[in-house]
Chain A
Amino acid sequence: MSPDIFIKATPIVLQGLQLTLIITICSFVLGQILALPLGLARQANSPLLRWPAATYTFLIRGSPLLVQLFIIYYGLGQIPAVRNSILWPILREPLYCGIIAIALNSAAYMAEVVAGALKRVPKGQTEACISLGISRRHRFTDVLLPQVYRELLPNIGNEIILVLKSSSLASAITIMEITGVARAFTARTFAPFEVFITAGILYLAIGFAFTFLFRLLERRYGITGTRTPAPEASA
């Protein structure tokens, strides 16, 4: 190991930082947006909503993200209808495919968590709302959702770390984010330890920053005393 290469590797690895952050944040936000309707559907009374949502989460959670990424990036192009559709300019780009695949994956895991939180909301609250004459819409937006999301803050903080780690898979579809540039630089310098350790430190720093941010959010908005223990890995 030479300190020289560490110094040389730092700016190179930092080149990937922007893409890693773009992929992480976009996939995370998109995943969270999709997770709510999916989670609601998982908990719905109608089997017409429940079954498709259950099938979706089962299939996504049952197969590797890498397969899903390849289906979207390499697979969809095989279908002429996709190539001729207006979506093709998006699905042709590895960056968009990476973001979509990671978001769809994250949404499936998050939907299960959301569904679980919805299930834990006491029945009495619905009854209380009805007896107070609160409309269905406000029951949902002002009573149910704030509770669910305040309770889920630790899980959401955990999910963004998982999405950050997943973003490294984007290097498999030619995107030069941190892992991608690190691998390319290793091939040139033959100094894997220096380069990958630098990349690893960068990932830890980003993860630490996200954790810190969510600690602040939790302190501000979290429900005290309900802090769920860190969930197990769910990659």
Chain B
Amino acid sequence: MSAILTYLPHLLQGLLVTLQVAAGSFVIGLLIAIVAVFGWNFGPRPLRWFISGYVTVVRGLPELLIIFLVFYGGTVLLSGAFGTYVEVNALTAGICALSVVAGAYLTEILRGALLTVPQGQWEAATSLGLSRMTAFRDVVLPQMLAYAVPGLGNQWLVILKESALVSIIGLEELMRKGVIAAGATHSPMTFYLTVGALYVAITGVSTLIIGAADRRAARGR
């Protein structure tokens, strides 16, 4: 018990990094998805193929493999560019990799949400003289996101848990702090259970917030 208290500040520091990785990946992934959904619906045919290929391929690959590809691949690219060994920062590599993954899943979620926005909204917006881009950004997108809240929330929970994988490339987030504490104290069970409990706590709180957000987004529907 006292061991937990000694390491608790470290674990909480790790928790902050976990939240950074998850939030960063979620926001970038969402931006990727918004652009991808727009491109999928209005882009030229090669772009559509590219986006649908991106979604299919990424969803079929293990997240860990993508993290390794970005981390080791990035290191090789940077080292080549600078001529000396440059290791990619694990935080950057983790956020990049998880953003790419989240982007693919979020594209699917937003595509589904886009279908729920009635066609008449497009017609009304264009007949008012809005360009397709403006109509998408100011009329359709906000409604789409409101419909997508449960799906977006689910994806947030997925990213929170996936962020633990970044510990394998050495980022000192919650999981990695747990591994360090477990190694130093020789009590893996204690620390992995504590780490697990902290994850359950943040996913539990997130679930409550998502529920509230969904009720708010669904008002008047």
Give the interface of A toward B (CB within 8 A). 58-59, 61-68, 70-71, 74-79, 161, 164-169, 171-172, 179, 182-183, 186, 190-193, 196-197, 199-200, 203-204, 207-208, 229-230, 232-235
For the complex with contacts A232-B155, A234-B158, 14 further pairs of A-B residues with Cβ separation under 8 Å are A58-B200, A58-B204, A59-B196, A64-B165, A64-B175, A68-B196, A74-B192, A77-B188, A79-B189, A168-B64, A169-B64, A179-B68, A192-B73, A204-B61
A165 touches B63 (CB 8 A): yes
Q: Identify the B interface with A (CB < 8 A).
A: 57, 59-65, 68-69, 72-73, 75-76, 105, 108-109, 112, 151, 154-155, 158, 161-165, 167-168, 175, 178-179, 182, 186-190, 192-193, 195-196, 199-200, 203-204
Residue contact B154 to A234, C-beta cutoff 8 Å: yes
**A191-B199 Cα distance, complex, nearest whole Å:** 35
Q: Is the CB of B60 within 8 A of A183?
A: no
**CB < 8 Å neighbour of B62 from A63, A165, A193, A208:** A165
Given that A65-B161, A179-B64, A200-B65 are known contacts, is A78 also in contact with B199, CB under 8 Å in the complex?
no
Evaluate whether A192 and B69 lie within 8 angstroms (CB atoms) in the complex, with A63-B200, A70-B179, A203-B61 already known.
yes
Q: Which residue of A lies closest to B161 (CB)?
A: A64
Alpha-carbon separation in the docked complex, A161 to B56 (Å):
12
For the complex, give the distance between the alpha carbons of A190 and B167 in Å.
21
Give which listed residue, B105, B162, B182, contacts A74 with CB less than 8 A: B182
A34-B200 Cα distance, complex, nearest whole Å: 22
CA of A195 to CA of B196, assembled, Å: 33
**7 interchain pairs, CB-CB under 8 A:** A63-B196, A165-B61, A165-B63, A167-B62, A196-B65, A232-B155, A235-B63
Taking the closest CB of chain A, its distance from the CB of B92, in whole angstroms, is 16
* Contact in complex: B182, A67 (CB < 8 Å): no
Q: In whole angstroms, how far apart are the Cα atoms of A234 and B157 in the complex?
A: 9
Given A165-B61, A203-B62, A232-B108, CB of A71 within 8 Å of CB of B196: yes
